[in-house]
């Protein structure tokens, strides 16, 4: 429990000296202003829902369809979250704490699936495992005519898990790397078995890290549209989209409200699980535990890592290459010529979103990490709500509000980037906050005792130390922005196409061959930003 | 592409399309037929690679297009030049094919450019309505792949009037009764089927009989989230009422039917033998045939019911546009002989002007027996989505 004590001590020091000081008040005001600005568009959902008669609202909320879609959504979120933990945590332990061969390689392949947009993953799985897919073609000469369908709940859980578990992997691995390994050794000297030591010492320490990753997975699943749609599984996002298509905005807004309530529920569960989460992030210096020797388990462990990497990376890339090669006559899409400008548009948007997120995340993360009251983490929690809002709902809200209140911004890059910031800021806040927690507050004390203004103390002392965390946050925002589809479709300026809008259009028209190259380039570019995220570990 | 040869190529094009029009007027069909093949003497320039335009640039190629007569109707040559910048909202999916046509116009007229926004038709209709309610839409023209979304925008009062010259060339059935939108290409509901598994004569002539056809048990496919399918169900509701439509949907499910994301996939599944038959728009089968020449896929039509619905891609001019004249001229260009030939031979759609024939051995649009409904009424998608959901289809 050494970490905890040490942390409490530091926190005590920090809070006694910084409490009520004006920088914190200023910080609180700035953070609150940012979170209010980000949440403002969601007011639209309530405005629209408020136009419905009470009786009609009750009828909509209690209809069979609403109930069954709610249950479907809960089943999907639970399934994906649990499965992501079951894959992400063992991978994190294997790559962080064991003598697994080629650890660096497996670390990269375990994190990399995050760069594959889940809708491309879903198409790849349907191509591979769907009726008359690659697998069916391989098996039919063996006399196997029927394979279990990929469509439905299990297919949606499979695909979403494979492309979101890296969130759990990354956060768990970060906690594993930062927690005090000597505690485990102490437990072992007290005659605990390895499993007991893990359960009683390691697990409580890394639980907040797991919970943080699980939260991102759960909220992503809640907001994802493409995968459930392709897997033909009815969830809120798909219904909201259909209702919008049918121009029934009242029902769409009621469903959106329900979805927001579910997001708040997930946030509440997560904050209970991670009540002591701050402790997990505190750096313990270099006291790493001794490596766990895998022994006979080496082969199964390698097999596990290899199987996951094959499903998440080899399979989708293989299917994309197949699309490319199969694109003969009839597949060469008319009118859809790829223009290099689309790539620059994507990169420019993603870079702008990343830059703004980093700047906006700093005060919020700093307040949450160093603030003294329970109130100080409120802006941080608030930003997660935006992350849970499906792009369709956010797009609608911004179309509506943009047209009425800021028409000069409608269909402008500014409004589009604003949407990205609402959706992806929490990713930057999370990584920034965990880096700030790893900086000993007494450094600031020292700087201030040397006569520095708090802001310049922050700039000179804290900023260089948290820079890798900020870079990782920027990279995460960059790659999720590159992948974002629905808000991009709805809010982009006319004539302004990006990688994903192009891929979406050509695959929608059945021209898979045309989609292959941009999809591969998209995955490659996003992969580069993933290297930034992993590089952070080298410096920590 | 619109650079230095533009003037020259336009002149070249005009000379050629002039010939085309003359030929058509003279009734000498056949002189220019198969302009993309043969000795190439009549249309020249195809291999020069200098961006010159001829009828073959508008016309597609392949087995379905061979031996076509020259198109009749108003030639582009008879229309005023397009000039200026047009903002076009373009219904997505195969609407992307229409971009090729717009690019041809841009090649032909260096002063013309179209700024386009491609999304699903229903999404764009909603966007235009939302924009219109807030004051004005940035769109000058909405080019949609179904009459339902055109009707929705028109019903929301977001359209301006269309030029009489354009409306007069299109049969009444394929334009709005108040002239707020006009069809540019026809899309017939049809039954793609696998010719190894069933013969055309075994396919029922009305959709009502499908659930009782033993040969189709557990071997059919549909794409209920696809706009064209929803228009078909909306048509059935208009003709037979909600209760009967509901019974039909349930009967089809009891009979065993697989769900697909879109109708191109349904049609491919028929060619693959994964399905015996399906519900899809007619041109998907032609696209499959064109891409995979020996594939065992055929096309059947039902008669007189919702299954025989002929929906249209169409155009409307958006209220509040600053480019009303350009928009009107653009509409006339899309209904020209050359553009209609483009729709027929490149998208395999039904042309909307009488002078241009559908491709291959498709029945003439007059030989189809579509139901007698007002296409604007297809805008009631909401009721259809409800019904599909209550039936457990969506």
Instruction: Determine whether the interchain pair B96/A506 forms a contact, defined as Cβ–Cβ distance below 8 Å.
Output: yes
Chain A contact present for B209, CB below 8 A: no
Reported as a pLDDT band with limits 50, 70 and 90, residue A94 is very high
The whole-number pLDDT of residue A3 equals: 47
Give pLDDT, residue A8: 54
Token pair belonging to A355: 């830059």
Of B71, B74, B49, residue with least CA distance to B58? B71
B349: left (phi over 0), alpha (psi -120 to 50) or beta: beta
Predicted confidence at residue B57, as pLDDT, reads 86
**Of residues B25 and A534, more confidently modeled:** A534
Question: Does pLDDT of A216 surpass 60?
Answer: yes
Position B239 pLDDT exceeds 60: yes
Contact of A349 with A480, CB cutoff 8 Å: no
- Is B220:B256 a contact under the CB 8 Å cutoff? yes
User: Two tokens at B150?
Assistant: 């055109």
Task: Give per-residue pLDDT as tens, B157-208.
Answer: 999 999 999 999 999 989 999 999 999 999 999 999 999 999 999 999 999 9
Mutate to test the interface with A, among B115, B118, B132, B379 (most CBs of A within 10 A): B118
By CA distance, what is A229's nearest residue in B? B261
C-beta contacts of B303-306 below 8 A and 24+ residues apart: B303/B205, B303/B206, B303/B369, B304/B206, B304/B369, B304/B370, B304/B371, B305/B206, B305/B207, B305/B208, B305/B236, B305/B239, B305/B371, B306/B189, B306/B207, B306/B232, B306/B233, B306/B235, B306/B236, B306/B238, B306/B239, B306/B240, B306/B371
pLDDT confidence of residue A319: 87
Q: Per residue in A181-192, pLDDT tens?
A: 677 777 777 777
As annotated, the residues of chain B forming the CATH 3.40.190.10 domain(s) are 56-186+311-365, 187-309+383-391
Q: Does A141 touch chain B (CB under 8 A)?
A: no
B278 pLDDT more than 90: yes
Dihedral in degrees, nearest 10, Cα atoms A232, A234, A240, A244: 50
Contact A247 B93 (CB under 8 A): no
> Mean of the pLDDT values across residues A303-330?
84
Quick one: CA torsion of A361, A366, A367, A371, rounded to 10 degrees?
160
pLDDT-wise least confident of A4-18, A134-148, B90-104, B208-222: A4-18
Query: Is the CB of residue B164 less than 8 Å from the CB of residue B144?
Result: no
Q: Which phi and psi (to 5°) does residue B222 adopt? A: -145, 170
- B62, B127, B259 member nearest A399 (Cβ): B127
Partner-chain contact A247 B272, CB within 8 Å: no
Chain A residues in contact with B116 (beta carbon < 8 A)? 494-495
Q: Judge whether A163 and A118 are in contact, CB under 8 Å.
A: yes
Radius of gyration of chain A (CA): 24
Q: Tell me how far apart the alpha carbons of residues A196 and B221 are, in angstroms, rounded to a whole number.
A: 55
Work out the number of other CB atoms within 10 angstroms of the CB of residue B95.
25
Q: What is the mean pLDDT of residues A311-335?
A: 73
B356 touches chain A (CB under 8 A): no
Residues 386-415 in A contacting B (C-alpha not used; CB under 8 Å):
399-400, 403-404, 407, 410-411
**Sole residue written with tokens 């080298």:** A538
CA distance A397 to chain B (A): 11
- Distance (Å) from the alpha carbon of B366 to chain A's nearest alpha carbon: 28
Is the pLDDT confidence value at A210 over 80?
A: yes
Q: Do A490 and B96 touch (CB under 8 A)?
A: no
Partners of residue B106 in chain A, C-beta under 8 Å:
none
- In terms of pLDDT, which residue wins out, A155 or B56? A155
Select from A46, A20, A10, A27 the least CA-distant residue to A393.
A46
A232 interfaces chain B, CB cutoff of 8 Å: yes
Dist CA B352 CA B221 (whole Å) = 29
> Considering chain A, what is the average pLDDT of its residues?
83
Query: Is-contact A392 A241, C-beta < 8 A?
Result: yes
Residue B183's beta-bridge partner residues?
B314
Rounded CA gap, A11 and A25, in Å?
A: 18
CA distance B233 to chain A (A): 14
Give me the total of CB pairs closer than 8 Å, taking one residue from chain A and one from chain B: 118
The rounded distance, in Å, linking the Cα atoms of A26 and A24 is: 5
Q: Dump strand ranges (E) for A374-491.
A: none
Nearest CA in chain B to A146: B274
Burial A398-413 (b: 16+ CB within 10 A, else e): bbbbbbeeeeebbbbb
The fraction of chain B above a pLDDT of 70, given in percent, is 86
Q: Are B307 and B235 in contact (CB under 8 A)?
A: no
- Which tops the pLDDT comparison, A51 or A31? A31
pLDDT of B17 strictly over 80: no
Tokens 């402008």 sit on residue: A412
Number of residues assigned to chain B: 394
What pLDDT, on a 0 to 100 scale, did the predictor assign at position B11? Answer: 39
Contact B92 A329 (CB under 8 A): no
ipTM exceeding cut-off 0.85 for this assembly: no
pLDDT grade for A180, boundaries at 50, 70 and 90: low
How far is B99 from B84, CA to CA, in rounded Å? 17
Is the CB of residue A230 less than 8 Å from the CB of residue A241?
no
Q: CA-CA distance, B94 to B101, in Å (whole number)?
A: 13
Q: Which of residues 143-182 of A touch B (CB under 8 A)?
A: 151
- Reduce the DSSP state of residue A171 to 3 states and report it: helix
Confidence of residue B141 (pLDDT cuts 50, 70, 90): very high
| Shortest alpha-carbon distance between residue A433 and chain B (Å) | 39
CA pair distance A157, A164, nearest whole angstrom: 10
Structure confidence at residue B34 as a pLDDT band (50, 70, 90): very low
Q: Average the pLDDT over B261-272 and give the result.
A: 88
Which of A466-470, B61-65, B368-372, B387-391 bottoms out in mean pLDDT, i.e. has the lowest? B61-65
Residue numbers of A between 39 and 98 with CB closer than 8 Å to B: 65
User: Per-residue pLDDT tens for A271-288?
Assistant: 777 655 444 444 444 455
Cβ neighbours of A246 in B, within 8 Å? 381-382, 384-386
A132 → closest Cβ in B103, B134, B274: B274
Percentage of chain A surpassing pLDDT 90?
A: 28
Local structure of residue A143 (DSSP, 8 states): T
The CATH code for residues B56-186+311-365 is 3.40.190.10
CA B182 to chain centre: 12
Would you call B62 helix, strand, or coil by DSSP?
Answer: coil
When computed from its CA atoms, the radius of gyration of chain B, rounded to whole angstroms, is: 21
Vertex A132: Cα angle to A129 and A133 (nearest 5): 35
Could you tell me the CA-to-CA distances from A442 to A6, A19, A518 in Å, in that order?
12, 14, 49
Q: Are B286 and B359 in contact (CB under 8 A)?
A: yes
Instruction: Judge: A335–B261 Cβ closer than 8 Å, yes or no.
Output: no
The alpha carbon of residue A405 is apart from the nearest alpha carbon of chain B, in Å, by: 9
Give dist(CA B31, CA B21) in Å, integer.
Answer: 11
Note whether B110 and B51 are within 8 A (CB).
Answer: no
Residue A304 — pLDDT band, cuts 50, 70, 90? Answer: very high
Residues B9, B15, B16, B18: is their CA dihedral positive or negative? positive
Q: Which of A229, A245, A497 sits opposite B123 (nearest CB)?
A: A245
Q: Give the pair of three-digit tokens for residue B368.
A: 């189809």
Q: In this structure, are residues A157 and A76 in contact, taking their beta carbons and an 8 Å threshold?
A: yes
Crossing angle for the helix pair A378-388 and A340-370, to the nearest 10 degrees:
150
Question: How confident is the model over B23-46, as a mean pLDDT?
Answer: 36
* Dist. CA A415–CA A413, nearest whole Å: 6
CATH 3.30.1330.60 fits B187-309+383-391, yes or no: no
**Superfamily name and number for A24-41+340-496:** MetI-like (1.10.3720.10)
Q: Which of A226, A229, A182 is nearest to A201 (CA)?
A: A182
CA neighbor of B350 nearest in space, from B393, B292, B391, B311: B311
Asked if residues B141 and B317 have their Cβ atoms less than 8 Å apart, the reply is: yes
> Residue A509 and residue B274: Cβ atoms within 8 Å?
no
- What tens digit of pLDDT does each residue of A347-405 get? 999 999 999 999 999 999 988 888 777 778 888 888 888 888 888 889 888 998 999 99
The domain locations on chain A are 24-41+340-496
Judged by average pLDDT, the poorest of A118-122, A290-294, A485-489, B96-100 is A290-294
pLDDT, mean over chain B: 84
B320 interface with A at CB cutoff 8 Å: no
Say yes or no for a CB contact (<8 Å) between A510 and B385: no
Q: What is the pLDDT of residue A411?
A: 94
| Pick from B46, B65, B50, B74: nearest CA to B2 | B50
pLDDT, mean of residues A408-422: 95
Q: Which candidate from B96, B123, B394 shows the least CB-CB separation from A509?
A: B96
What integer is the mean pLDDT of B362-384? 85
Mutate: best of A225, A237, A334, A412, partner B, most B CBs <10 A: A334
């Amino acid at each position: 429990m050494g970490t905890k004590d040490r942390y409490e001590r530091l926190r005590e020091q920090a809070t006694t000296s910084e409490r009520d000081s004006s920088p914190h008040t200023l910080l609180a005001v700035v953070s609150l202003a940012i979170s209010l600005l980000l949440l403002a568009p969601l007011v639209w959902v309530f405005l629209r829902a408020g136009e419905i008669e009470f009786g009609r609202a009750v009828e909509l909320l209690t209809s069979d369809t609403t109930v069954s879609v709610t249950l479907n959504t809960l089943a999907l979120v639970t399934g994906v979250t649990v499965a992501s933990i079951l894959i992400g945590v063992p991978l994190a332990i294997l790559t962080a704490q064991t003598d697994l061969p080629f650890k660096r390689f497996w670390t990269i392949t375990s994190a990399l699936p995050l760069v594959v947009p889940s809708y491309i993953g879903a198409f790849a799985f349907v191509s591979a495992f769907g009726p008359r897919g690659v697998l069916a073609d391989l098996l039919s000469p063996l006399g196997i005519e029927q394979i279990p369908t990929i469509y439905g709940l299990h297919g949606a859980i499979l695909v979403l898990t494979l492309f979101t578990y890296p969130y759990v992997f990354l956060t768990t691995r970060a906690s594993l790397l930062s927690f005090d390994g000597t505690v485990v050794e102490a437990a072992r000297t007290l005659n605990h078995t390895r499993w007991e030591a893990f359960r009683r010492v390691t697990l409580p320490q890394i639980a907040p890290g797991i919970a943080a990753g699980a939260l991102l997975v759960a909220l992503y699943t809640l907001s994802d549209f493409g995968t459930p749609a392709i897997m033909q599984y009815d969830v809120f996002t798909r219904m909201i989209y259909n209702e919008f298509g049918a121009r029934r905005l009242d029902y769409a807004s009621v469903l959106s409200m329900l979805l927001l309530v579910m997001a708040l529920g997930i946030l509440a569960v997560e904050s209970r699980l991670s009540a002591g989460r701050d402790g997990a992030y505190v750096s313990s210096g270099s006291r790493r535990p001794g490596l766990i020797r895998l022994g006979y388990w080496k082969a199964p462990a390698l097999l596990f890592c290899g199987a996951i990497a094959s499903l998440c990376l080899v399979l989708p890339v293989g299917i994309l290459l197949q699309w490319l090669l199969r694109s003969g006559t009839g597949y060469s899409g008319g009118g859809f010529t790829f223009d290099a400008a689309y790539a620059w548009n994507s990169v420019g948007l993603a870079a702008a979103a990343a830059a703004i997120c980093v700047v906006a995340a700093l005060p919020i993360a700093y307040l949450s990490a160093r603030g003294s009251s329970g109130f100080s983490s409120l802006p941080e929690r608030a930003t997660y709500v935006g992350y849970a809002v499906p792009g369709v709902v956010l797009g609608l809200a911004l179309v509506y509000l943009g047209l009425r209140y800021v028409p000069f911004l409608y269909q402008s890059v500014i409004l589009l980037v604003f949407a990205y910031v609402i959706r992806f800021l929490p990713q930057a806040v999370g990584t920034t906050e965990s880096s700030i927690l790893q900086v000993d507050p007494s450094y600031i004390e020292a700087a201030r005792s040397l006569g520095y203004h708090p802001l310049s103390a922050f700039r000179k002392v804290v900023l260089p130390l948290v820079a890798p965390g900020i870079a990782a946050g920027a990279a995460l925002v960059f790659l999720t922005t590159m992948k974002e589809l629905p808000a991009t479709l709805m809010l982009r300026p006319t004539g302004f196409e990006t990688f994903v809008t192009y891929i979406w259009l050509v695959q929608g028209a059945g021209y898979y061959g045309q989609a292959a190259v941009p999809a591969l380039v998209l995955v490659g570019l996003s992969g580069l930003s993933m290297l930034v995220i992993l590089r952070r570990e080298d410096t920590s | 592409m619109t650079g230095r040869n533009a003037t020259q190529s336009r002149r070249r094009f005009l000379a050629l399309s002039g010939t085309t029009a003359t030929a058509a007027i003279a009734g000498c069909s056949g002189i220019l037929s198969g302009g993309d093949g043969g000795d190439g003497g009549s249309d020249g320039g195809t291999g020069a690679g200098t961006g010159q335009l001829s009828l073959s640039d508008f016309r597609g190629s392949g087995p379905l297009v061979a031996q076509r007569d020259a198109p009749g109707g108003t030639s582009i040559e008879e229309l005023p030049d397009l000039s200026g910048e047009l903002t076009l909202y373009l219904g997505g999916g195969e609407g992307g094919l229409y971009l090729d046509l717009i690019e041809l116009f841009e090649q032909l007229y260096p002063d013309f450019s179209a700024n386009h926004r491609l999304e699903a038709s229903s999404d764009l209709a909603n966007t235009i309505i939302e924009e219109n309610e807030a004051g004005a839409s940035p769109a000058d023209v909405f080019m949609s792949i179904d009459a339902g979304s055109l009707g929705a925008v028109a019903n929301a009062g977001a359209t301006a009037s269309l030029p009489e010259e354009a409306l007069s060339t299109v049969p009444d059935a394929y334009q709005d009764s108040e002239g707020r939108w006009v069809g540019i290409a026809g899309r017939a509901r049809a039954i793609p089927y696998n010719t190894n598994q069933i013969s055309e004569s075994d396919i029922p002539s009305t959709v009502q009989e499908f659930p009782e056809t033993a040969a189709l048990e557990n071997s059919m496919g549909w794409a209920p989230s696809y706009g064209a399918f929803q228009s078909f169900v909306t048509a059935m509701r208009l003709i037979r009422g909600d209760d009967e439509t509901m019974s039909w949907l349930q009967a089809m499910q009891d009979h065993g039917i697989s769900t697909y994301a879109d109708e191109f996939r349904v049609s491919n599944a028929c060619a693959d033998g994964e399905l015996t038959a399906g519900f899809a728009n007619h041109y998907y089968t032609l696209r499959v045939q064109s891409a995979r020449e020996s594939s065992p896929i055929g096309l059947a039509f039902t008669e007189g019911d919702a299954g025989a619905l002929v929906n249209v891609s169409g155009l409307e001019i958006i209220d509040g546009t600053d480019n009303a004249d350009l928009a009107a001229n653009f509409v006339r260009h899309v209904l020209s002989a050359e553009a209609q030939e483009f729709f027929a031979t490149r998208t395999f759609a039904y042309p909307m002007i009488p002078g241009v024939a559908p491709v291959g051995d498709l029945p003439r649009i007059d030989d189809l027996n579509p139901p007698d409904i007002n296409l604007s009424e297809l805008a009631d998608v909401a009721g259809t989505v409800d019904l599909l959901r209550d039936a457990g289809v969506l």
